[in-house]
Amino acid sequence: MSWAWFHRLASPPRFYELAGRLQPWLGGGAAVLLLAGAIWGLAFAPADYQQGDSVRILYIHVPAAMLAQSCYVLLAVAGVVSLVWKIKLADVALQSAAPIGASMTALALVSGSIWGKPTWGTWWVWDARLTSMLILLFLYAGVIALGQAISNRESAAKACAVLAIVGVVNVPIIKYSVVWWSTLHQGATFTLTAKPAMPAQMWLPLALTLPGFYLFFGFVLLLRMRLELLRREGRSQWARAALRAAGHVGERP
């Protein structure tokens, strides 16, 4: 029963309709959480006694870094589904998520550098955590480049899926690099199994921006997937009907 439901969900017209229903909820939730968390964290949360106001960048840096890693795990899962079960929607998800993950990785690196300058006295060090995050950005770039360079859609899907699966080994390296090696990068800000080391006034805004980033990711991912489905299925009856319903009568994606 569950597999039958999964295959029905993987149907392009069914997924397109469901994604359209979810988008407003994801977008609205993301807007509320990000706005509340950002205002609280940037304007009202106390400064750190050592880092001063530079600590406020964690409300952007931490969610971006976590989302960058989670997104690549999603790419790997989509790659397995695409290779093993030949579900085309998995390739759509992979291709749609890669640019978002690359953007989050770049944001994590840039925001980390901005924090590192006043804290470490330099914009960049070849630290294990920073280096493995840079490798993650290159992996995202590789997936995007493969998807655009190979004209045959089936061959491009296989190549991107293989790279996503192979590259996912970098994710645990990023996570545990501060444990396995002596690095400048600090450990986890807080975990689910331990009491936060920082006061509640500082970590509660992060507890808002973190899910806000993930809801924003879901919103943008569904938006990109719907557009990609229309592009690939533009000649199908359901896609034409969707374009007419959206007011794009006579247009081709």
Is residue 71 within 8 Å of residue 107, measured between CB atoms? no
Q: Which domains are assigned to the chain? A: 12-245 (1.20.120)
d(CA 58, CA 205): 10
Residue 2's pLDDT is 55
Q: Residue 3: is its pLDDT beyond 60? A: no
* Per-residue pLDDT reduced to its tens digit, 108-126: 999 999 988 888 888 888 8
Q: Residue 253: is its pLDDT beyond 50? A: no
If you average pLDDT over every residue of the chain, what do you get?
89
d(CA 252, CA 245): 13
> Can you give the pTM of this predicted structure?
0.91
Q: Residue 252: is its pLDDT beyond 50? A: no
Instruction: Indicate the pLDDT class of residue 28, thresholds 50, 70 and 90.
Output: very high
Helical H runs in the chain?
A: 2-9, 12-39, 58-85, 88-120, 128-149, 153-167, 170-180, 200-232, 237-245
* Per-residue pLDDT reduced to its tens digit, 232-241: 998 889 989 8
Residue 51's pLDDT is 78
All residues at 6 or more sequence positions from 146 whose CB lies less than 8 Å from its CB, including other chains: 156, 159, 160, 163
For residue 48, the cross-strand partners are 52
* Residue that has been written with the tokens 């590259």 in this structure: 167
d(CA 222, CA 248): 19
All residues at 6 or more sequence positions from 27 whose CB lies less than 8 Å from its CB, including other chains: 215, 216, 219
d(CA 43, CA 23): 29
* Per-residue pLDDT reduced to its tens digit, 134-159: 999 999 999 999 999 999 999 999 99
Q: Residue 249: is its pLDDT beyond 70? A: no
